[in-house]
Structure 1
Amino acid sequence: MEYIQVTKDNLEKEHICCAISGNKDVQVSSKKAWLADRFDEGLVFLKSVERGKCFIEYIPAENAWVPIEADGYTYIDCLWVSGAFKGHGYSSDLLNVCIQESKNKGKKGLCILCAAKKKTFLADPKFLKHKGFIVGDEADNGIQLWYLPFEEKAVAPRFKDCAKHPHIEEMGYVLYYTNQCPFNAKYVPVLEQTARDNGIPFRAIHIESKEEAQNAPTPVTNYALFHDGEYVTNEQMNDKKFLKLI
């Protein structure tokens, strides 16, 4: 498999989404705008030449849009291999590049969000365990922070207190989201309209800075839905899924 690193120079022409084919789609453009601002912070986006089939996105943990304490680590935003491409070693290829580059930069290790059982839009725990990752911390809602240390004495990364116990005071449905996930550009407005049409108390909170993300009340910041103060899900929803949840 041939891989391409997406940079500021080729961002506009490269395909960067796992499920959206058109580069002109508002979802893709919102994600690209988010990426463009992250490259100067050390973000790496490595993808296969196949459109959206295999890619890894990672960044120094100090600049990650998640509420973690992981100084000196590399944080993996996403490691994705599409169905037909699974089982060919591409995940290992991409992860190995991340490992080697992180070691070359003197990092302590890697970390990534996961859960004891596979959750939508989170890493596969079976794959991580196979690669030597271990659990560093776990939030009350079952979201875990897994890590791969490069040295035995490396301090395990952990969640900040704000994310360790996901809870908010606001009643109704409250959604925290970022532009890191391209789907939000389409589906967050869909949920807002659906809530208005059905008289459902709903508020979407757009996280627009690293500082906001690093102090969010949830381990997952790209999409986290709460109801009456309690965390519900990190799964992006269309109108039908949302109404079914209600």
Structure 2
Amino acid sequence: MQAIQMIELNQQNLEEEGGYCLRSKPLSTGYQNKNNWLKDELAAGLKYIKLMENGKQAGFIEYTAAEYSSRVVHANDYMIIHCLWVNISGKGHGTRLIHKCIEDARQQNKCGVAVITNSDTSWTPSKDIFLKNGFTLIQEAPYGFELLVHPLKDGPLPFFPNNWEERLKTSDELTIFRTNQCPFVDVATENMLEGARKLGLEAKVIDIKNREELMALSPTPYGIFGVTYHGQLVTFHRLTVHSAIKKLKSLCN
């Protein structure tokens, strides 16, 4: 019989338990940045819950109140799911984690739970599992982003900003916007900078430090990483150096 256990990270067990992503490289800059970020966010109420199956990590979920979220969405009094990941689908692990989030939101008297998905990439959760668990798709944004909600009581529904085109025009130079919410951001940044260097392009890195900057500057709803150049979106997720060069060349022509 499979033994299922949920372990919630906190200030006391963070160093021992650690995060799920990039756990094979605990000394990497990205992993360390994520853990340092978690220390602050856990103190502010963020939940990071690992699902263990027979003592091995099988998945995790990360969520927090909207006012502390790393996603670009107006969602007053909602809980926002940042990440959901499971090793193997079909075992109900994802549903268990989603139900845990919904129950926490209910206990905190939140208006509901929201999540941003994107069917064009694996860097966000799949919307399918949320639709199966009572969520409804209510809005779409450029670059394939989708906003799904699970209301728990009456109140204003979350919504995306509507100035995505304006955000791309803040700078013509190659600009990387990033936070430490994802441990892969460090590698994503280095790959983009290396691609730019090989093309002789200068790049500017903007470290987003708070929710206000995130809501004002992020070029996409994803929030944690975004690259713009000449008023166009280069990417919102990690690219290989080769892919970065190819994409930048296409925007230079």
Q: Same fold (TM over 0.5)?
A: yes
Judge conservation of contact 1:74–1:109 (CA < 8 Å) in 2: yes
Partners of 2:162 and 2:199 lie apart in 1 by 35
Displacement of 1:190: 3.4
What runs of 5+ residues in structure 1 fail to find an aligned partner? Answer: none
What amino acid is the match of 2:26? N
**Aligned residues of 2:191 and 2:244 also touching (Cα < 8 A):** no
Partner Cα distance (1:163, 1:59) in 2: 24
SS of the equivalent of 2:95 reads: helix
The 3-state SS of whatever aligns with 1:156 is coil
Pairing 1:74–2:79 present: yes
Structure 1 residues 174 and 26: alpha-carbon distance in aligned structure 2, compared to 1, 3 A threshold: same
Aligned partner of 2:251 in structure 1 is none
SS in 1 for 2:104: helix
Q: Which residue is 1:121 aligned to?
A: 123
Aligned residue number for residue 198 of structure 2: 197
User: How many angstroms apart in 1 are the aligned matches of 2:11 and 2:211?
Assistant: 19
Q: Scaled by the length of structure 1, what TM-score is found?
A: 0.89
Cα distance, 1:113 vs. partner?
A: 0.8
Give the match's secondary structure for 2:17: coil
CA offset digits 1:94-120 (Å, max 9, x no partner): 1111111110110111111113x3423
Unmatched 5+ stretches in structure 2: 249-253
TM-score (structure 2 length as normaliser): 0.87
- Where 1:36 maps in the other structure, the secondary structure is helix
Distance, in Å, in 1 between the alignment partners of 2:165 and 2:112 is: 21
Describe how 1:1-246 pairs up with structure 2 within 5 A. Answer: 1-49=4-52, 53-82=58-87, 85-115=88-118, 117-151=119-153, 153-163=154-164, 166-216=167-217, 217-246=219-248
Q: Structure 2: how far apart are the matches of 1:177 and 1:88?
A: 34
- Superposed displacement of residue 226, structure 1: 1.9
Q: Post-superposition, which runs of at least 4 consecutive aligned residues in structure 1 deviate over 6 A? A: none
Asked if the contact 1:173–1:203 (Cα under 8 Å) also holds between the matched residues in 2, the reply is yes
Distance 1:44 1:195 in 2: 36
CA separation of 1:170 and 1:205: change in aligned 2, threshold 3 A: same
SS at match of 1:92: helix
Amino acid at match of 1:185: D
Work out the CA distance in 1 between the residues paired with 2:79 and 2:174. Answer: 33
Distance (Å, rounded) in 2 between the aligned partners of 1:163 and 1:65: 17
